[in-house]
Amino acid sequence: MENKIAPSILAADFADFAGAVKTIESAGADVVHIDVMDGHFVENLTFGSGVVKGLRPRTEMTLDCHLMVENPEKYISEFAQAGADIISVHVEATDHIHGAIQKIKEAGVKASVAINPGTSVSSIETVLSMVDMVLVMTVNPGFGGQSFITETMDKVKALAEYRQSHHLNFEIEVDGGIDDKTIAQASKAGANVFVAGSFVFNGDVDENIKKLRKELTWTV
């Protein structure tokens, strides 16, 4: 599958998201990753669908909305209407993951299921045939700048094997601690969408994205 770089605007300047998106687009990024946190499912509190609505007319890049919120079913419609291209919901955040995925699909948006580092792949097997992407958290969710948890690569490998054996085509996204040292490891395990926040936005964005791309070329 095509490799995609997905900078997380959680690490960008909150006063200039539109400028940050223009910068990463010019630098060759593929996806804008938007981390939505409610202060309940995770401790941090970020932003809502208004950010998506504001960014939608300013870019043609894929808007990947990662809902780290309790009862995500309540928010799917508003994020879809705001212009999300992909909506990720956590299996840990709802008692009705099948229904949540179904609701995303009905809204005409690509559906993704997310799992935390301590959550097993078996918990999402019943919806893998429905989703367009699986998001594997490679840090505990809530805050940027954390260290990559190597053990999560076992789940990426398991998902890649499941996808092949069941003839599915979902993408595998990794989020947390992705930099020029860890991206190759994640790629070799089977991931193809790479969320990077702190690494991309700390310093020269163009150079940092080039570094990520360079590391991916060695794994092809």
17, 50 contact by CB (below 8 A) = no
Catalytic site residue from 35, 38, 85, 132 = 35
14, 50 contact by CB (below 8 A) = no
Query: What SS3 state is found at 171?
Result: strand
Backbone angles phi, psi at 45, to 5 degrees: -125, 125
Task: Decide if 175 is catalytic.
Answer: yes
Task: Decide if 16 is catalytic.
Answer: no
Residue 93, token pair as written in the block: 């955040």
Residues for the chain: how many in total? 220
How would you label 43-81 residue by residue, b for 16+ Cβ within 10 Å and e otherwise? eeebbebebbeebeeeeebbbbbbbbbbbbbebbeebbe
193 CB-contact burial (10 Å; exposed 0-12 / middle 13-18 / buried 19+): buried
Report the helix count and the strand count for the chain, using DSSP H and E. 8, 8
Catalytic site residue from 30, 38, 85, 175 = 175
Catalytic positions are 35, 175
